[in-house]
Amino acid sequence: MNIQQAIIRSRVQRTVGGVLLLGGSLFYFVSLLMALYHAAVAATHIPMLRPLGGSIQNLIASVYEATVPYIGFVWRNVPTINQADPFTYSNLMFLGLIGVMILGGQLRIAGKRLQVRINKQIEKVEDMQWRQSMMGGAAGGTSISADTIGHLNVYQQSMPPSSDEKWWTRPWGIIGLGIVSGYAVAVLAKMTGML
């Protein structure tokens, strides 16, 4: 892979990772708000907790009213946590959101690490080209200018391999992939009627 390909890969990893992290976090926190809302509804049945439950309900309702024009899709499709039965579809979806957030975070980290490596490699290549042009200028008697250095294509230089590129081999990558793949199997089993 050359530097140009590495730049594209870094941008894709950071963008996809950011979208997964943001989307997963949004669904996750709205799901937590819904669970808190349902707990507040249950708390209103207890006389001592009725004022606290009512104020929590009002707070979450005001958050809902303020955000529904922007993230109405999230509010309509968020999984509701069921504390009575941990193996319900919505609880599995909630766990899947955690896996999506982990994968998104790992992709962003991998993209940022690759970006740091790219910047270091570009500096090395530019330094090497300056040295070569100075050596050639001293031997041949030609003048050195920034224009001649700029004509050399830095982005076509190859990137040295690194073990940091394989984000899926790090512990959090393995955990995130395990959660998401387990969730995918559970969803497929539920769709085919096996569960």
Instruction: Kindly state the greatest CA–CA separation across the chain.
Output: 93
| Cβ-proximal residues to 165 (8 Å cutoff; 6+ apart), any chain | 110, 114
Cα–Cα distance measured from residue 131 to residue 147, given in angstroms and rounded to the nearest whole number: 15
Residue type at 191 in one-letter notation: M
Judge if pTM exceeds 0.85: no
Triad 52, 56, 59: Cα angle to 5°: 140
Residue type at 116 in one-letter notation: V
Residue-wise pLDDT tens for the chain (195 aa)? 778 888 899 999 999 999 999 999 999 999 999 999 988 888 888 888 888 888 999 999 999 999 999 998 999 988 888 877 777 878 878 888 888 899 999 999 989 998 998 888 888 888 887 887 777 655 554 454 555 444 456 666 667 666 666 777 777 778 888 888 877 777 777 778 776
Phi, psi of 83 (to 5 degrees): -75, -20
